[in-house]
Chains A and B, each alone.
Chain A
């Protein structure tokens, strides 16, 4: 086993989001929508029906004026690894429309296989999965900006953040064409990472010591969301504020933050 591991080190793409830097500006959300042909409707204020692969939550420490504090938390798909790739959504899909890619660690969603049973939405503890209740409609002429790299989803299927997997494919094709087999860190970046005006998002291979995320994930202020469910997500957050780290999981009053946090790698 150990030998195998040394011979074939799989990639494990992940993200570290610095909440001290995040300004909640929403550029990541719009960059994601523009990159991934995400549709929109006239009224998007019912957030249970609004398809946004990446959503920003506004956390509040709940204290009265002027002790109040707020923090923004961008939430893409957490790309759970679970145990050996058994992420919550992958395990329940009856259509094999979603799977865990052992090569990259990315949880995929294959729209043409999905028949809309929405088990995965029920299984996902992060609400990252979204159902298309309507066919997408663009105002006349606006479909011109749609990207050919990402298929447009139809009514009746579930969609979610793919870590811009099409960018991985494009980068890999380019590398292969140039006779390379390995991608440099900057060759594959998600749209939200690239857009972030605050440089709050860092993306890379969590298994690769040369990538920035490798060090960042070990920051003592790093945490993951609902870690104790055993979902083993690949999105890490950094905050220097204790109340923000506590907001990442359902802690009991007497529990210390991050008590069960370690154990990844």
Chain B
């Protein structure tokens, strides 16, 4: 059949009209949408009464106020609490993802007892009665044998009633081995203790600062209370103040700062002293303060003028002398300048010499106890329990040395040295550790040289975890006695570190406990009572809640109403009354300070020839790196230049990458003296040539499938470096080698 023009047109027209008239395409379209949409397993969230509950988030130490939206008994959304002193309505990515932890798959749903090998993940559910009885029996036995001091506890903090219950338990039981995992705040506390006397925490009045000089502090990466620091930064960005970021890598903080000053990593303390030199030489310091309220100034000045001339500091830091001079003048002439330190989020305590040098800058410009400066924050002393009766076993146990040597002659100012505990256990120094209790901390993940930590934990015969989640430490425990999560329990949170408003926050049950968990406070009381004797009688409260109510006394009512309670009318003490040193003044130097090894350098592990590169960690808001793992929303928000598939990407300057023959996305083997791992390469011009920058917060092996097995834990590659002056971990990186995989 011949198809001519006419028949072709007729066919086309007929076909078009026919298609339009037949219902077939429309029917098919309809069917497709019905078929593709009505899957019965797509959940339809039930409706109900909408209510809001105020509480305090305890997922990180910032302790923001939160408002949880509920539909009937379900919590459906976490939002920032408007008017709260820390965050006033804002919230961070972890806080807003908190419901994924509450309802998430990594919850430990019932007390568990290990069956099979340590860490193999074989568990047997047990009853709470059995769990409490087993711990009490084991601890009772050790105590009877006179080995009470071989029991240690690692808590997330030593502030608030829950850590204090642990501390009390260890005391009346007879062990000196209570631990937390120190951070930059411990170094700050030491700095203030040495220079200002007393036992204050450092508060930073960032809301009023008009010139922030940050020595690597990630004010936009989670240093301090993130929401509070972000707010302060937004104020500075609106023209209220200036930010100078001293850091080797272009972090978010550096990028947002008015000025990014790249330095040779590790030279921050020298740079601070160089700035002090210029301020001293040009007499730009606050004369009234220096003259009337300081001691040891002349002696300290002599040392700074002799040793830290701009030319010398320029050679060490890589910052030109002229820039050092200009920066010093700008800092000293600002109205309310503030210098801070603590790299990244400040999770590593860092060097005491650096912290003291930076704090001395604040003293030079007189910005202590004043708006925009550093305030000595007294602790709210609301935990005022009756002194416990100690029996002979307790007294004998407490006379033993701490396993880490903290507080001894070698480390007189350190309170807790967990890295030395690990070392002691692994090398068999001191006495063998027989039992370990872990609450609110995940040392197997978050301490430097995590493999050594895991080895140490494996050597302890009896490990009890109180974690709500199946974290790396819980996996390696013998017993897990799961706590309620922060949305299911009461807990007090004293003034978050760094805040200049003394408050107590209250975390409270937003929803009923979802699983067969129990408040760790209750469990501690029950264990103590089961041990009996003076240990039991030191815990007179029937429940944790009763203990908390009694402890908070008059603040309980307001706390339950508002979610937080603030000390009314707090003002920082003035210069004449602020310092609790022997002289009653700020002391640039004194006998205690001169006795410390402050001038000894921090030497990173690794030989420069074998490991020509420097591996440095960087923190970010989208990856948690505390004792909690990323909830799925956070991991979802991580860029594909940080995590791709299961591979972490390390940042490398294109120049360094090309010298190693590496290109974007290429796989490589990263080696350090501590460990090795497979990584991929992300070319980034903002990282210093010769440096490999690695994100922290990845490389979990526990928790759930949404975070486990993704990337590498920086702590598996890095080792601690004990600060010669304080004993705390002062490592800021490690030497490394990168080769094509």
Contacts and interface: CB of A to CB of B under 8 A. Distances in A.
Interface of A: 18, 20-21, 23-27, 29-31, 33-35, 37, 40, 42-47, 50, 52, 56, 58, 60, 62-66, 68-72, 95, 111-116, 135-136, 138-148, 151-157, 194-200
Interface stretch (B14-22, B170-178, B579-587, B628-636): B628-636
B256 interface: yes
B689 to A, nearest CB: 7
B594 interface: no
Interface of B: 29, 32-33, 36-39, 41-48, 71, 74-80, 87, 89-93, 95-97, 99-100, 102-105, 220, 226-227, 230-231, 233-234, 237-238, 250, 252, 255-256, 260, 262, 514, 621-622, 632-641, 643-646, 653-655, 684-689, 704-706
Nearest to A150: B45
Nearest to B623: A26
A132 B646 CA distance: 23
B636 A141 contact: no
A13 to B, nearest CB: 20
Indicate the member of A37, A144, A197 with the most B CB atoms within 10 Å: A197
A23 B619 CA distance: 13
Contacts of A40: 632-633, 635-636, 706
A146 B96 contact: no
Given A147-B71, A194-B79, A52 B33 contact: no
Given A34-B633, A141-B514, A198-B231, A20 B100 contact: no
A27 B43 contact: no
A37 B74 CA distance: 14
Contact of A142 (B37, B100, B641): B100
Contacts of B633: 29-30, 33-34, 40
Contact of B43 (A34, A63, A143, A156): A143
Nearest to B37: A154
Contacts of A153: 42
A152 to B, nearest CB: 6
Nearest to A58: B639
A194 B89 contact: yes
Contacts of A72: 252
Instruction: Decide if the interface of chain A is mainly helix, strand, loop or mixed.
Output: loop
Contacts of A21: 233-234, 237-238
B91 A195 contact: yes
B90 A197 contact: yes
A52 B636 CA distance: 8
Contacts of B47: 148
B686 A68 contact: yes
Contacts of B77: 34-35, 145, 147
Contacts of A157: 36-37
Contacts of A35: 77
Contacts of A194: 79-80, 89
A115 B685 contact: no
Given A144-B103, A145-B74, A64 B685 contact: yes
A23 B252 contact: yes
> Shortest 8 CB-CB distances between A and B: which pairs?
A156-B36, A197-B90, A25-B621, A146-B45, A197-B227, A68-B686, A26-B637, A145-B99
Nearest to A29: B637
Given A34-B633, A146-B43, A197 B226 contact: yes
Nearest to B642: A45
Nearest to B29: A115
A9 B45 CA distance: 36
B93 A27 contact: yes
Which of B92, B255, B704 counts the most chain A CB atoms within 10 A? B255
B38 to A, nearest CB: 7
Given A30-B634, A197-B231, A144 B74 contact: yes
B643 A45 contact: yes
Given A21-B237, A144-B103, A197-B230, 13 more contacts: A23-B621, A25-B93, A30-B634, A37-B45, A65-B655, A69-B250, A112-B37, A138-B43, A147-B71, A148-B48, A154-B42, A157-B36, A195-B90
A155 B103 contact: no
10 contacts: A21-B234, A25-B93, A30-B97, A31-B79, A141-B103, A144-B74, A147-B45, A152-B44, A154-B42, A197-B92
Nearest to B82: A194
Contacts of B641: 58
A229 B239 CA distance: 34
B37 A198 contact: no
Contacts of B38: 154
Given A40-B632, A65-B653, A154-B37, A27 B91 contact: yes
A155 B32 CA distance: 12
Contacts of A154: 36-39, 42
Most-contacted residue by chain B among A56, A142, A152 (CB, 10 A): A142
B51 to A, nearest CB: 13
A70 B256 CA distance: 8
Contacts of A29: 93, 633, 636-637
A113 B76 CA distance: 27
Contacts of A114: 33
A47 B90 CA distance: 27
Contacts of A64: 654-655, 685
A94 to B, nearest CB: 9
Contacts of A44: 635-636, 638
A24 B97 contact: no
Contact of A198 (B103, B230, B634, B637): B230
A70 B42 CA distance: 40
A197 B684 CA distance: 27
Contact of A70 (B39, B636, B686): B686
A163 B250 CA distance: 33
A57 B410 CA distance: 50
Contacts of B226: 25, 197
Contact of A199 (B32, B231, B646): B231
A62 B46 CA distance: 50
B227 to A, nearest CB: 4
A165 B645 CA distance: 34
B33 A115 contact: yes
Nearest to B688: A65
Residue from A50, A115, A198 whose CB has the most chain B CB atoms within 10 Å: A198
Contacts of A139: 104-105, 704
Contacts of B705: 42
B105 A20 contact: no
A198 B97 contact: no
Of B93, B104, B238, B688, most A-chain CB atoms within 10 Å:
B93
B86 to A, nearest CB: 11
Contacts of A113: 33
Contacts of B621: 23-27
B640 A47 contact: yes
Given A40-B706, A148-B46, A198-B233, A66 B103 contact: no
A46 B256 contact: no
Instruction: Name which of B622, B646, B653 has the most chain A CB atoms within 10 A of its CB.
Output: B622
A146 B43 CA distance: 9
Contact of A195 (B42, B79, B255, B622): B79
Interface centre among A140, A152, A196 (most CB of B within 10 A): A196
A47 to B, nearest CB: 5
A27 B96 contact: yes
Nearest to A111: B37
A196 B36 contact: no
Contacts of B93: 25-27, 29-30
A31 B37 contact: no
Contacts of B706: 40, 42
B31 to A, nearest CB: 10
Contacts of B46: 148
Nearest to B685: A68
B39 A155 contact: yes
B79 to A, nearest CB: 6
Given A139-B105, A141-B514, A66 B250 contact: yes
A157 B95 CA distance: 30
A95 B36 CA distance: 14
